[in-house]
Structure 1
Amino acid sequence: MDGDCKTAVVTGGTGEIGFAIAHKLLCNKGKKVVLIGNDTKKGSEVVDSLNCSFGRSKATFYKCDITNREEVEGTMKKAKNDLDEIDIVVNAAGVWNDVCWPNEMETNLGGTINVVLSARNHIKKGNGVVINLTGLSALEPFPNSPLFASFGAGVIHFTRSFGHDVNFRRFGVRVVALCLGITKTNLHVDLDKKMLTKEMGKGMSDFLKNACYQKPDACACAVAELVKYGPPGSVWVVEGSRLFYYDVPDYKECLNLVSQFM
């Protein structure tokens, strides 16, 4: 699907990555973007910035708590009325705080699920796409932040299952996952204090000091590419400003027989 004249809904739209995605979609001749977030003041600032750059009424902000299913459904209905039809939905909302893990789970995993289930009812059938963002830690063990990694892994498996070809034929919506490498955002501010233990916090601090950061624009460029050709249920990685396809192996190929019981 080409990005020309397409409409989009971006959750986490007031964050650095969400804003970069909205900006990129409009740069690619997108018709209009609806941003969703919790901060009304920041939402107004982001919308003003986008409208100054691309023209009046190109961007709109809706305040919404994505952990609230009814609120998400109401917001998606408003977005569809505003846009006439929805072509693209990007789940860019997320928090990183293992100490407050219930909120982390409800936002990163539950919020993603809420938005996808609602989008299924409102997005354009046959040519619509939902892109779920999560961290690279979703693909491998991350001992410094096991809960954040676990919820990300849930996003990946939900995307692969809901986005499976079987469901694509049922619902006519592509659902794709994009795992982000370490990206320069405010998400990492005081992150060492948000880990489960002091030891994990120290490990996280050391990890971030040695990390190779990419800019939010790299994530936005990756999203723009996946809008065009990301297959249903596929998993992708953007790391070091490079986009990779993640080839998920068949679990049977990874099995090594240890014992035969019957």
Structure 2
Amino acid sequence: MEREPKDKVIVITGGAKGIGFEIADHFLECGAKTLILLDNSEAAGVTAAQTLNEKYGKDKAVFIECDITKDLEKVSRHILQTYQVDVLINNAGILDESDLRKTMEINCIALMDWSMKFFEHWRIDQGGRGGTIFNVASIYGFEYNPFAIYYKTSKHAVLGFTRSLGHPFNYNITGVRVIAICPGFTETALLAGKSWEIHKEEFQKQMEEKITMQKPKVVAKAAVEIFGVADSGTAWVAANNEPIKLTPMC
């Protein structure tokens, strides 16, 4: 049952826009009970929840304004006291090569903090009921090229965290599954993030000549598919509009 979207209560960070919104939409389409959208944009969050509720029914989506780097204790306490949550999707992220600390804080440290809060709550060896932590990483978590250094480093960390925390040894004790999706280049606002000046010309050339873009809906459908098949500690690629693939363990 842990791999069946039907009737799941799901929390998703960065859920108001882009890939996060599309993932929320597709999980509801596949039978999820409730999607709790966390986002730091009130306007986008209210609109996203309204759109999903009009499509799927009253209270299927709930928006909570949240800065994931500051509001963990307050927001998680409210959620875990109010809902019987089954899944945490860590989707929020930025690409800002002008700010190392902000990049690591949002893409890595906050993701780990939120994961551990839910992990400890769900541990069956501590009286919990188990659950799934689903991290949105990136193909840049394992690709080798000169671009997006801070972003790439943060996503390498996400994969290391996912594979270590989700290792079968930990899963067999705690009952908490930890998995990751690694999207390829996807048409979202993230691609407009700040990059190093020395990279702009070559990166733009690569984008125009060598990269296959995909829509956020493609990643959303892949995420639900991965949710249904992934063992704990595994990471999956959803890139180039191709079928999902298990990433090598290296």
Report the TM-score when normalising by structure 1: 0.88
1:254 maps to none
Say whether the 8 Å CA contact 1:18–1:93 is kept in structure 2.
yes
For residue 121 of structure 1, report the CA deviation from its aligned partner.
3.0
Say whether the 8 Å CA contact 2:122–2:129 is kept in structure 1.
no
For residue 51 of structure 1, report the CA deviation from its aligned partner.
0.4
Find out whether 1:225 has 2:225 as its counterpart. yes
For residue 151 of structure 1, report the CA deviation from its aligned partner.
0.9
Q: Which runs of 5+ in 1 are unaligned?
A: 250-262
1:43 aligned to which of 22, 45, 50: 45
Counterpart secondary structure, 1:62: strand
Greater CA drift, 205-214 or 109-118: 205-214
2:118 maps to 119
Report the TM-score when normalising by structure 2: 0.92
Counterpart secondary structure, 1:184: coil
Say whether the 8 Å CA contact 2:178–2:232 is kept in structure 1.
yes
Say whether the 8 Å CA contact 2:92–2:107 is kept in structure 1.
yes
In structure 1, how many angstroms separate the alpha carbons of the residues matched to 2:18 and 2:148?
22
Say whether the 8 Å CA contact 1:130–1:176 is kept in structure 2.
yes
Query: Identity of paired residues, percent?
Result: 27
For residue 177 of structure 1, report the CA deviation from its aligned partner.
1.3
Say whether the 8 Å CA contact 1:142–1:149 is kept in structure 2.
no
Letter in 2 for 1:139: F
For residue 207 of structure 1, report the CA deviation from its aligned partner.
2.2
Find out whether 1:180 has 2:179 as its counterpart. no
Find out whether 1:89 has 2:88 as its counterpart. yes
In structure 2, how many angstroms separate the alpha carbons of the residues matched to 1:244 and 1:229?
11
2:76 maps to 76
2:60 maps to 58
1:244 maps to 245
For residue 77 of structure 1, report the CA deviation from its aligned partner.
2.3
Q: Which runs of 5+ in 2 are unaligned?
A: none
| Matched residue count | 242
1:109 maps to 108
Encode CA deviations 1:153-203: one digit per residue, 9 max, x unaligned. 0100011111111211232110011111000111122x4xx223x221222
Root-mean-square deviation over aligned CA pairs: 1.5
Find out whether 1:202 has 2:204 as its counterpart. no
1:22 maps to 24
Counterpart secondary structure, 1:89: strand
Say whether the 8 Å CA contact 1:77–1:122 is kept in structure 2.
no
For residue 127 of structure 1, report the CA deviation from its aligned partner.
4.8
In structure 2, how many angstroms separate the alpha carbons of the residues matched to 1:142 and 1:81?
44
Letter in 2 for 1:229: V
2:7 maps to 5
Tell which structure's C-alpha radius of gyration is larger. 1
For residue 126 of structure 1, report the CA deviation from its aligned partner.
5.5
In structure 2, how many angstroms separate the alpha carbons of the residues matched to 1:126 and 1:164?
18
For residue 78 of structure 1, report the CA deviation from its aligned partner.
1.7
In structure 2, how many angstroms separate the alpha carbons of the residues matched to 1:222 and 1:158?
21
